[in-house]
Chain A
Amino acid sequence: MHKTISQINERIRDGSARVVTAEEMPAIVAELGEQGALKEVDVVTTGTFGAMCSSGAFFNFGHAEPPIRMERIWLNNVEAYGGLAAVDTYIGATQQSDTREDEYGGAHVLEDLVAGKSVELRASSRGTDCYPRRTITTELLLENVNQATMCNPRNAYQRYNAATNTTDRTLHTYMGTLLPGCGNVSYSGAGLLNPISNDPHFRLIGSGVPIFLCGAQGMVIGEGTQHSPAGGFGTLMVTGNLKEMSQDYMRAATMKGYGVTLYVGLGIPLPVLDLDVVRATAVRDEDISVDILDYAVPSRSRPVIRKANYAELRSGSIDINGEEVKTSSLSSFRRARQVAAELKGWVEQGKMQLALPTRLIDAKKVSRPMHQSTQGPRVLDIMDRQVVSIHEDEEIKTAAKKLLKGETNHLPVINGAGVLVGIVTTFDISKAVANPGKAHLVKDIMKTKVITAKPDEAVDIAVQKLEQYNISALPVVDADHRVLGILTAMNLGKLFGGRWLK
């Protein structure tokens, strides 16, 4: 048995379609069997509500008198793109205000407009024969613009890897606050309610398919950017009319230490055409696994701590190396449910009919990392190789002499085996001289917790360490912790020679 999309739409029109949410579907299939569920259910609605940074909107403001071709554009001091000519622009959700930093951004502009607040448009131009005006400032309401079209390049991630942190300090990431020592696990995603997880082969979700987008009736444009369904990370590019959206389903937010983002509510109604659709929409939280990644590693490929499914993540705690660690979500399951329920109402009341894709989305694609034609500078490119070090059993006086002679402020301290065991700075030595006590040897005053760099580490990572720990030098060590060089703030000056800044 199978049903056609026109049969389903006919039932929607005459109000007899049976519509359920993706959360209800597993129990229905368990009760009625796959054949029974196919007969019973016509439409399954999905929903997700989470932080979707890759969001924004196009605007057309209409022409001013005299007219202007806007080149630099701000909405409430948040810069918008000025390369679309005349009076069009695109504002991205994560763009931050020039004056209020991460307290206000593109996402807040969008939410303010949807909430009926006025927003200040400010723009400037060189002025041309056809567009003589050079500046404009005006207050606008959403009803004052010709078009306000939300267009989100990468939304509705099929799933998202969870995050934890093995370092000894709190990290502030786009996955929220990550407490030290695997103090918590942060995850995102609606699990069994997620649209793509209910259609992982993209048979039903594709270009032209109607969707719920922030309370408006929107549409799938096609595959989203970074779409990588082969590994379970499909994404969608979607659009909808901002003028029809509701604050209930779109919220500006700030992730501390990361920046501004937009919470987007998105749902897709799926027509139950055949048994394959029944099986796909019977997906449970237990069936959807993600990796818990260690955000301690500032790299594209972060180590996997363990795998976990959404049922485990949603349970509130998870076992990591024998310890029970609390989990919490960044996306809202309650709002995801509300999206799916609202969408269910739309279809039941005949407000939305379904359509099959006019163009299919590739279900096997793999997103690749950036092709980098040049390597960025590494620590070994700029470190000082002539490093003066000192033995831990030397006298403090010897260290002072070495510091003077070596014209440096930092002395790595090594033991008999040549392994780095500490560091002394001019400050440590001045302190030891000013407050003479029992300390005579370098090992009595050295700092044993040394922050180091690796030779093949990117300079950006080393700079981050200098900033984080508020220090001015990093001993560079090999795998056996032997000192190869030292990277100081002075060495960073080499970067400004232009060699790396082309």
Chain B
Amino acid sequence: MTLKLKLIQFFRGLTQPVLLPHWWQDAILFIPRVICGFLLTANFGAAKFGLPWSPVENNLGFFEVAFWFPHDVATYGGIFKLFPVFFAWMGAFSEAVGGIFLLLGFQTRIFSFLIFCTMMVAVFLQQWSNGTWNTLPALGFAWVSLFMMVLGSGRFGLDHFISKKIKS
């Protein structure tokens, strides 16, 4: 099997969601996915990453990360101090753009992975010293993205329609 075929098969596997036995089970899991995706892209992400719906007062250009975020990221130390712009951009991108993809259920596993990594950084390097209560928002997103990494979009997402189309 050629590398190209292997790659195609790998991405097909990544896209294909796990379908639960009953449609209503997928419908229940659709709710936290959509809420988390919406909150990430409309609120948490848009405040620090330039999207058309970012607050005007934040003065962010398209796909720009907020000026203060790389400074925050650098304070985490280690590799974050070495590449603060890269990690700040990736973290903000994961929230703002990952939120859209999570909401739509498009490439759910890839973006859930990015969101999960971002939330782990937020929990352990940003909020840990502020007490357990302050880690809850990031942990909430982390749990949802963890489930979505395993299950994919379910029946109610673009991944399901794409997978069906590829099969037929």
A-B interaction: no
**Which B residues contact A (CB, under 8 angstroms)?**
none
